[in-house]
């Protein structure tokens, strides 16, 4: 899971940014994390394609190594007297995201999460819509793209770069489970329902939104923490969709057993 890997392997980037910037400047930390996020995908890709390692082995090797390196950097430079740990930089909590208010002249302009994630969302959305053909072709058959002289490396790293940046930004705001869960579960649910790439994107977004709304209000009602509830709801939705699909499938495709 590349998203999971990135969440760990960005640690050295955060530490280095911290050391360079001498304080937890969040913009610098984000840049450092994003650089290491992209680096992670490059190393994984190298191990997988050039050294022919299995994909899960490539991912496991890369992120454990980078994470360990980050921990070493902390213990070497910070010598235990600095309040820098991955938790405080990375693992946000959705329930607390509203605390980071942006108030200018006594007016509320939203939260820091909105200020970072909304532009990121719009940029990614624009890029995916405009570059749809490139991403589609590269995901389906990079080899064919190559025969047409299309720069497959550009599309691969554009995608991985966006995953890294969005992962890092979202980790800070909503925390680990939600990011990793939402990288996978809504598209997987949508994949059960449609077999058209454009619709897959639209359905994923709709399903994700529904999951969030249902999970959020359920959590409020039950007075439990929000993120795990949303993920639980997402899982249930996936399961129900799966059941719905297989039974429907059976209804329409069941061979007529001749009555004797």
Q: Which token pair is 34?
A: 């994003």
| Residue closer to another protein, measured from CB, 53 or 177 | 53
Cβ atoms of 188 and 237 closer than 8 Å: no
If one asks whether residue 148 binds another protein (CB under 8 A), the answer comes out as yes
Instruction: Find the binder of another protein among 31, 188, 200, 210 (CB under 8 A).
Output: 200
In the bound complex, what is the minimum distance in angstroms from residue 24's beta carbon to another protein? 38
Instruction: Find the binder of another protein among 27, 64, 146, 247 (CB under 8 A).
Output: 146
The span of 24-32, 91-99, 112-120, 131-139 binding another protein (CB under 8 A) equals 131-139
How far is CA 45 from each of CA 148, 152, 160, 198, rounded to the nearest angstrom? 22, 13, 10, 26
| Residue closer to another protein, measured from CB, 139 or 220 | 139
Name every residue whose Cβ is closer than 8 Å to that of residue 65 and which is 6 or more positions away in sequence.
9
The span of 111-119, 166-174, 177-185, 187-195 binding another protein (CB under 8 A) equals 187-195
| Residue closer to another protein, measured from CB, 171 or 203 | 203
Q: Which token pair is 51?
A: 């050294």
How far is the C-alpha of 41 from the C-alpha of 45, rounded, in Å? Answer: 6
Instruction: Find the binder of another protein among 81, 196, 257, 258 (CB under 8 A).
Output: 196
How far is the C-alpha of 258 from the C-alpha of 29, rounded, in Å? Answer: 68
Instruction: Find the binder of another protein among 69, 91, 121, 191 (CB under 8 A).
Output: 191
Q: Which token pair is 17?
A: 């940014």
Cα(first)–Cα(last) distance of the chain, in Å? 52
Instruction: Find the binder of another protein among 149, 250, 253, 256 (CB under 8 A).
Output: 149
Name every residue whose Cβ is closer than 8 Å to that of residue 55 and which is 6 or more positions away in sequence.
44, 48
If one asks whether residue 175 binds another protein (CB under 8 A), the answer comes out as no
| Residue closer to another protein, measured from CB, 25 or 136 | 136
Cβ atoms of 184 and 1 closer than 8 Å: yes
Instruction: Tell the residue number behind the tokens 């980037």, with chain if given.
Output: 13
If one asks whether residue 197 binds another protein (CB under 8 A), the answer comes out as yes
**Footprint of another protein (CB under 8 A):** 130-131, 133-134, 136-137, 139-141, 143-151, 191, 194-197, 199-200
């Amino acid at each position: 899971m590349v998203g999971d890997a990135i969440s760990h392997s960005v640690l050295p980037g955060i530490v280095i940014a911290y050391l360079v910037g001498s304080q937890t400047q969040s913009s610098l930390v984000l840049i450092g994390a994003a650089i290491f996020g992209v680096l992670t995908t490059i190393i994984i890709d190298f191990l997988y394609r050039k050294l022919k390692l299995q994909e899960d082995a490539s991912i496991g090797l890369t992120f454990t190594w980078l994470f360990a390196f980050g921990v070493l950097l902390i213990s070497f430079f910070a010598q235990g007297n600095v309040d820098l740990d991955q938790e405080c930089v990375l693992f946000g909590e959705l329930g607390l995201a509203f605390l980071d208010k942006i108030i200018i002249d006594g007016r509320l302009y939203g939260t820091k999460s909105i200020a970072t994630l909304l532009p990121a969302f719009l940029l990614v959305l624009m890029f995916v819509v405009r570059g749809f053909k490139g991403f589609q072709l590269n995901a389906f058959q990079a080899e064919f793209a190559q025969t047409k002289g299309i720069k497959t490396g550009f599309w691969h790293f554009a995608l991985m770069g966006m995953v890294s940046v969005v992962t890092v930004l979202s980790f800070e705001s909503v925390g680990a489970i939600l990011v990793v869960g939402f990288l996978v579960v809504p598209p997987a649910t949508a994949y059960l329902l449609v077999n058209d790439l454009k619709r897959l994107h639209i359905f994923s977004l709709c399903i994700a939104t529904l999951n969030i709304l249902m999970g959020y209000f359920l959590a409020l009602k039950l007075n439990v923490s929000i993120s795990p509830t949303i993920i639980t709801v997402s899982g249930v939705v996936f399961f129900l969709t799966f059941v719905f699909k297989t039974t429907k499938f059976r209804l329409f495709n069941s061979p007529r057993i001749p009555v004797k």
